[in-house]
């Protein structure tokens, strides 16, 4: 195993509360606060447009996307923290010489800023957002292009995420896939190669591949 690619929200970081704050402010501004869900976690994944479409249904309007983004950018790291075990696991993997990257559907600049504020940005060789490449997950393109930048072969790489989009993108790019079960898990028909109950389980995958 040479490269590990991580989703961001629901995989590396628990950002649901900050997303909820931005969503609540947005819905108040557009007069749809009655649409605010009790828990945003089931709606997260796929980017802002997907979030708003899931929450609002037929009340969704394209202009709401920029309103949300503006609200979220004001305070992206109030409650957001890495999931327990993430920091320690990343340190071990990096010290072992693996190439590490983030492939998120969140805008690149915001992904970098959040990771920087959490002192995680330097852990990664590359950080891709939903606007880094012409397509975003579930398209395999961001995975394919990120692997080129990392100079890593798909068969020696794993895409780790908590949603169907992560698994579909990884499989389409030819990588192994791992489901982060501690996140905002949403999968339908896709089956990962590995089920992870906690971030530290990645070390078992790496150790097994090293032994082979």
Q: Model confidence over 132-163: pLDDT tens digits?
A: 999 999 999 999 999 999 999 999 999 999 99
What is the DSSP secondary structure assignment for residue 101, as one 8-state letter?
E
Domain definitions of the chain by residue range = 3-14+81-211, 16-74
Asked if the domains 3-14+81-211 and 16-74 are classified in one and the same CATH topology, the answer is no
Residue 89 banded pLDDT, cuts 50, 70, 90:
very high
Q: How far, in Å, CA of 63 to CA of 85, rounded?
A: 38
> Is 70 exceeded by the pLDDT of residue 97?
yes
Look over the chain and give the mean of its residue pLDDT values, rounded to a whole number: 95
Q: What is the DSSP string of 35-94?
A: G--S--GGG-SS-HHHHHHHHHGGG--TTHHHHHHHHHHHSSSSS-EEPTTHHHHHHHHH
Q: Note the pTM of the prediction, 2 decimals.
A: 0.94
> From its phi and psi, is residue 57 left (phi > 0), alpha (psi between -120 and 50) or beta?
left
- Tell me what pLDDT residue 209 has: 66
**CATH code, 3-14+81-211:** 3.40.50.1000
| Residue with more model confidence, 173 or 205 | 173
Active-site residue (options: 7, 14, 18, 162): 7
Residue 7 among the catalytic residues? yes
Indicate the SS3 state at residue 122.
helix
Report, at the CATH architecture level, how domain 16-74 is classified: Orthogonal Bundle (1.10)
């Amino acid at each position: 195993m040479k490269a590990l690619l991580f989703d961001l929200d629901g995989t590396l970081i628990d950002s649901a509360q900050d997303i909820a704050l931005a969503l609540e402010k947005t819905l108040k501004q557009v007069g749809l606060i009655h649409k605010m869900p009790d828990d945003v976690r089931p709606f997260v994944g796929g980017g802002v447009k997907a979030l708003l479409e899931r929450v609002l249904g037929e009340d969704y309007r394209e202009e709401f996307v920029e309103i949300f983004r503006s609200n979220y950018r004001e305070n992206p790291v109030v409650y957001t923290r890495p999931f327990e075990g993430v920091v320690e696991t990343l340190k071990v993997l990096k010290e072992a010489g693996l190439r590490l990257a983030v492939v998120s559907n969140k805008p690149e600049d915001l992904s970098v800023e959040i990771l920087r504020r959490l002192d995680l940005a330097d852990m990664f060789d590359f950080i891709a957002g939903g606007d880094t490449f012409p397509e975003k997950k579930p398209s395999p393109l961001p995975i394919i292009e990120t692997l080129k930048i990392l100079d890593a072969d798909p068969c020696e790489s794993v895409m780790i995420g908590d949603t169907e989009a992560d698994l579909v993108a990884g499989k389409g790019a030819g990588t192994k896939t791992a489901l982060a079960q501690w996140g905002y898990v949403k999968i339908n028909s896709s089956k990962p190669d590995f089920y992870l109950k906690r971030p530290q389980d990645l070390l078992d995958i790496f150790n097994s591949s090293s032994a082979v």
